[in-house]
């Protein structure tokens, strides 16, 4: 009889219970794909989850007992966080266990250390579920698109932010109102900072860029900007100019270095990414051979994420008898062939911008603003000046042609210093994506 692959699962929350259910429900098909059965032999969890059946499976309250269990071939880490999870995975690696994780923060911040330890021990680390839930984007980048030089990646990789922007656009609701609903629906945490300020997306973009470009994981160098300052005025203005605002993670090879940035972005209505609504995720990848491609699906949830977790388990189950050095490298490139290209600072990014400012209704105000822009070599593509009643501030909305961010910021600093300019100036980057 063929020896089964023994799996230890640590964490029995939403994704953990989904993983148990998928492994049990599809056990016969999974065994056929692997060539031998996959068995859950040990679970580490503080409490049971009524959404899955773990009868007959060994359960430990001490999660490190799973990492020490000699029967476990593959440890599946689903507890989240970057402290205990890091210690758990490093201990499991030292005990010769292969790793599957859905932990994007852990991979983005400690992946270089973990991969080094795993390579030295001759074990593998798989993390498909760490980015975009059930969308197999990491395998697609590392294997399916491996023949391509990746020009750029642009992704909606946080469902909470996309839900909020969709509601603001479709129903004219304010950010705070939609955020409260997202929290009530369970899309956003009680502290929504990671989602709405772009940190979650920055973790995911770090991983995507490393696989796309063969650069080390460099989370600290990702420019990160959230959506909490966006207003319905901005969302409506984007529509009037022919654009839609999405909270994107963007990685781009400029030839001089790699751009890594997460921020609200205006993209043309005609781009497929502009039509991705609600909590769904989507990633566009432009390869030199294949051209633009779009990957769309559920970016979170019990079984969509479990789909990727179990796919990693299947892959490792197949590879258990293969020589470690012959397997696909963790980040798609061999460790001695990583790309030394620098990550570019946000000041060097060149793109068009949307600008919104409120001014006093006085003669010469617009002339002062356009003069400052002209002095900084910034040209205007389109502009709207809205009528107001009485002495209310006048909104001025502008779209620029492509400009270096540092030059725009210098001009906006001078404009903000004008006595006639009121409130904080809002600017949103524009990406003219193809397809």
CATH value at residue 401: 3.30.70.260
Going by C-alpha positions, the residue among 374, 382, 138, 154 that lies closest to residue 259 is 154
Q: What is the pTM of this model?
A: 0.93
Count of alpha carbons within 13 Å of 335, Cβ hemisphere only? 14
Q: What is the per-residue DSSP string for 332-381?
A: SS-GGG---PPBPPGGG-EE-EEEEEEE-S-TTHHHHHHHHHHHTT--EE
The answer to whether residue 139 is domain-embedded is no
Same structural domain for residues 159 and 267?
Answer: yes
For residues 361 and 347, give the distance between their C-alpha atoms in angstroms, rounded to a whole number.
32
The per-residue pLDDT for 294 is 96
Task: For residues 96 and 62, state if they share a domain.
Answer: yes
> What pLDDT is stored for residue 327 in this prediction?
58
Q: Is residue 141 part of a domain?
A: no
Per-residue confidence (pLDDT) for residue 322, from 0 to 100: 62
- pLDDT score of 126: 96
Residues 319 and 280 in one domain: no
| CATH at residue 263 | 3.30.360.10
Q: Indicate whether 385 belongs to any domain.
A: yes
User: Which residues contact residue 126 at a Cβ distance below 8 angstroms, ignoring those fewer than 6 apart?
Assistant: 98, 99, 100, 101, 312, 313, 315, 316
Same domain? For 308 and 268 the reply is no
Query: β-strand 223-224 against 258-268: which pairing, if any?
Result: parallel
Between CA 8 and CA 64 the distance in angstroms is 11
Residues 369 and 286 in one domain: no
Task: Could you list the beta-strand ranges (E) of 48-192.
Answer: 58-60, 74-77, 98-101, 125-126, 150-156
271 and 129, same structural domain? no
Mapped onto helix, strand or coil, the DSSP state of residue 31 is: helix
Indicate which CATH number applies to the domain containing 56: 3.40.50.720
What is the greatest pairwise CA distance in the chain? Answer: 88
Angle at CA of residue 211, ends 30 and 405, nearest 5°: 140
Residue 129: partners with Cβ closer than 8 Å, 6 or more residues away? 15, 100, 101, 102, 305, 306, 308, 309, 312
Please identify which residue in the block is written with the tokens 């999405």. Answer: 246
Digit-by-digit pLDDT tens for the chain (435 residues) are: 578 999 999 999 999 999 999 999 999 999 999 989 999 999 999 999 999 999 999 999 999 999 999 999 999 999 999 999 999 999 999 999 999 999 999 999 999 999 999 999 999 999 999 999 999 999 999 999 999 999 999 999 999 999 999 999 999 999 999 999 999 988 888 899 999 999 999 999 999 999 999 999 999 999 999 999 999 999 999 999 999 999 999 999 999 999 999 999 999 999 999 999 999 999 999 999 999 999 999 988 899 999 999 999 999 998 886 665 555 556 656 666 678 889 999 999 999 999 999 998 888 889 999 999 999 999 999 998 877 776 788 899 999 999 999 999 999 999 999 999 988 899 999 999 875
Active centre residues (catalytic) = 204
Say what the pLDDT of residue 279 is: 93
Could you tell me if 271 and 206 are in contact, meaning their C-beta atoms sit under 8 angstroms apart? no
Does 140 fall in a domain?
Answer: no
At which of 271, 298, 325 does a domain end?
298
Give the pair of three-digit tokens for residue 36: 């031998």
Residues 6+ apart with CB under 8 A from 2: 35, 36, 37
- Distance from C-alpha of 35 to C-alpha of 347, rounded to nearest angstrom: 52
Neighbouring-strand partners of residue 398: 355, 383
> What integer pLDDT is reported at residue 332 of this predicted model?
59
Residue 211 to residues 5, 36, 68, 98, 400, Cα–Cα distance (Å): 28, 30, 31, 20, 33
Q: Do 166 and 293 fall into the same domain? A: yes
Do residues 102 and 202 share a domain? no
Domain span at 280? 146-298
> E strand or H helix at 293, and its extent?
strand 291-298
* pLDDT given at position 167: 97
| Separation of alpha carbons 275 and 166, rounded Å | 10
Number of domains in the chain: 3
**Cβ atoms 296, 135 nearer than 8 A:** yes
Whether residues 374 and 387 share a domain: the answer is: yes
Same domain, yes or no: 262 and 354: no
Confirm whether 435 is domain-assigned.
no
141 and 208 Cβ atoms separated by less than 8 Å: yes
Residues 53 and 163 in one domain: no
Report how far residue 232's alpha carbon sits from residue 249's, in angstroms, rounded to the nearest whole number. 22
Partners of 295 in beta bridges:
283
| SS3 assignment, position 38 | strand
Q: Looking at the structure, tell me whether residues 162 and 121 fall in a common domain.
A: no
């Amino acid at each position: 009889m063929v020896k089964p692959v023994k799996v230890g699962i640590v964490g029995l929350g939403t994704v953990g219970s989904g993983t148990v259910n998928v492994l049990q429900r599809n056990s016969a098909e999974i065994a056929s794909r692997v060539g031998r059965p996959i068995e859950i032999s040990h679970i580490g969890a503080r409490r049971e989850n009524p959404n899955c059946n773990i009868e007959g499976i060994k359960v430990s309250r001490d999660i490190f007992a799973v990492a020490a269990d000699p029967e476990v071939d593959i440890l599946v880490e689903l507890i989240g966080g970057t402290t205990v999870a890091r210690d758990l995975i490093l201990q499991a690696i030292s005990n010769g266990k292969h790793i599957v994780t859905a932990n994007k923060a852990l991979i983005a911040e400690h992946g270089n250390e973990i991969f080094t330890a795993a390579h030295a021990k001759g074990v593998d680390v798989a993390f498909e579920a760490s980015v975009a839930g059930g969308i197999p984007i990491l395998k697609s980048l590392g294997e399916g698109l491996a023949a391509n030089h990746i020009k750029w990646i642009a992704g909606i990789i946080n469902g909470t932010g996309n839900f909020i922007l969709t509601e603001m656009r479709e129903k004219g609701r304010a950010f705070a109102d939609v955020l409260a609903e997202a929290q009530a629906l369970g899309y956003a945490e009680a502290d929504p900072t990671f989602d709405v300020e772009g940190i979650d997306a920055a973790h995911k973009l770090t991983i995507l860029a490393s696989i796309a470009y063969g650069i080390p994981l460099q989370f600290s160098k990702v420019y990160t900007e959230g959506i909490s300052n966006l207003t319905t005025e901005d969302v409506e203005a984007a529509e009037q100019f022919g654009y839609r605002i999405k909270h994107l993670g963007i990685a781009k090879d400029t030839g001089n270095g790699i751009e890594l940035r997460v921020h609200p972005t205006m993209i043309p209505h005609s781009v497929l990414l502009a039509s991705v609504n609600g909590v769904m995720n989507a990633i566009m990848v432009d390869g030199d051979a294949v051209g633009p491609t779009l990957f769309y699906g559920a970016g979170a949830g019990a079984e969509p994420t479990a789909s990727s977790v179990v796919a990693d388990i299947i892959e490792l189950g197949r590879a258990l008898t293969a020589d470690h050095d012959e397997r696909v490298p963790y980040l798609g490139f061999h460790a001695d062939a990583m790309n030394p290209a620098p990550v570019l600072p946000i000041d060097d990014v060149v793109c068009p911008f949307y600008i919104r400012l409120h001014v006093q209704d006085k003669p010469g105000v617009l002339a002062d603003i356009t003069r400052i822009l002209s002095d900084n070599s910034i040209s205007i593509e389109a502009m709207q000046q809205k009528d107001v009643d009485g002495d209310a501030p006048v909104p001025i909305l502008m779209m620029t042609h492509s400009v270096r961010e540092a030059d725009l910021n210098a001009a906006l600093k001078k404009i903000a210093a004008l006595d006639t300019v009121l409130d904080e100036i809002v600017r949103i980057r524009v990406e003219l994506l193809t397809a």
